A and B are shown apart, each in its own frame.
Chain A
């Protein structure tokens, strides 16, 4: 039985994948290996997990302004998540997705969620992200 979350489409697009979830914010620079799509910030709860091809749900970004560049390079290499879900709007992730569209015509949906909606997510769910910002938890 599917559950539905209505998110706000910060950068609209469609995607589907397994979820990887932590409300802890992440700096992609120093925290995301663009060669492998692995989260490498040793202080982050998802440290060591591979986010490539997944729907990555994090509280937002922190720290370095180079996060956008790392995410853009990950998109180019195909090591980026297929979609990004955050608590509230994250400007850095949105920018990376917009430039990925401008430069490579590749879609990376970014969806903003409320705190309680984000809390309904957990790692290992199959998620479908719609252009409207609707997220379907296929098997909650």
Chain B
């Protein structure tokens, strides 16, 4: 049913039609007003108008300055996202703050090796060109913190990409709301964001307390534990702020990345506190800002086992492809993978794909990590991932991954079955041509 059949859906004019007639004049700086009046050009005017319409919806009285941005809007989703990008570019949009770009809809120079339709590649490339023309850095990664300069503790930024937002807030202690596509670029063009939500210290207090109960240290040390824990917690908290206590290990950055991405997939987690681990959670009292928790939840082995099962839609059988790198693979992950695949070879029926950024791939190549991966029969795709570009052949029906984010989204977005396992499980399965998981760490 189209819009033509839906005339009743075409409603009245919007409630904030222009830059005039604001009831809260003092909420805006003189430069905000200048942008709204078009004195900084038509692109800044449109961006500021969208921000000003969003300000009351986001619960803000005023705007504040940002010193950086990370843009998810460059991800091609069809004609609408391209039209929006090219409209802003045609209006002469330029970003006012240092701005990095999230994954795009296509591996710009490598898409021909995959099943990407040429018209999709052309549209996605045009959208990449539009955002580059605005002065954004062509980083094309969902994990900009692995290569670009990181925001400092307390720094105000506007980031898109749910897994990057949760990392910036939780692990770095920078301050960003969960900027959706289309809005992140408005913030970058104006250098302004509504002063609301996680930009404000008082809104960063932990709300739901999770306590690990009798979770063996050997499991806590495993990479695959963090994806499962993140999935469990995201599902339980929605968009509230979880506090996790009872960890007896010091998680690595890659483990925190995996945890955050999982919690931002099953839920809308934009900030978590791990007591004794993350920078705003030196103590439980610091993490909650001395407020009582809204809820207290025990994390048991039983719940963890059930969550791990939920992350897999198929448990046995032949395996078409192992996919790694959501969020994008880090240098350390390439190091680990190179050692793991060394001297081994994948089964002819099972592909191995790693998704990463151009910069990290280049660093891994320089370090010699890619030669054993290539000898194993693995491939690396940059700029994008299997969820954001239609690259997989229709014959690929069963996937295996160590990423809870891939495991969460693949069935809906790709229509594939997927199995969640450790990196070791994934490589062993790729070698054997079928799913082979070691469950020993998860046994009662």
A interface residues with partner B (beta carbon < 8 Å) = 9-17, 25, 27, 29-31, 34, 37, 40-42, 52-53, 60-70, 72-73, 75-79, 82-83, 89, 91-92, 94-96, 98-99, 101-103, 106-109, 131
Contacts and interface: CB of A to CB of B under 8 A. Distances in A.
Nearest to B415: A40
B15 A9 contact: yes
Interface in B45-93: 46, 49-50, 53-54, 57-59, 72-73, 75, 77-81, 83-84, 87
A30 to B, nearest CB: 4
Interface of B: 1-6, 8-12, 14-15, 46, 49-50, 53-54, 57-59, 72-73, 75, 77-81, 83-84, 87, 160-162, 165, 178-184, 238-239, 264-268, 313, 387, 408-409, 411-413
A117 B409 CA distance: 31
Given A15-B11, A73-B80, A62 B268 contact: yes
B50 A91 contact: no
B313 to A, nearest CB: 8
Interchain residue pairs A-B with the least CB separation, the first 5: A13-B11, A78-B2, A107-B11, A82-B9, A53-B1
A61 B178 CA distance: 12
A64 B265 contact: yes
Nearest to A110: B57
A14 B5 contact: no
Contact of A63 (B72, B162, B184): B162
A42 B408 CA distance: 10
Contacts of A92: 180
A89 B12 CA distance: 20
Contacts of A68: 180-183
B77 A73 contact: yes
Given A31-B412, A69-B80, A82-B6, A63 B268 contact: yes
A51 to B, nearest CB: 10
A27 B413 CA distance: 11
A14 B179 CA distance: 27
Contact of B81 (A40, A63, A69): A69
B9 A89 contact: no
B77 A34 contact: yes
Contacts of B73: 69
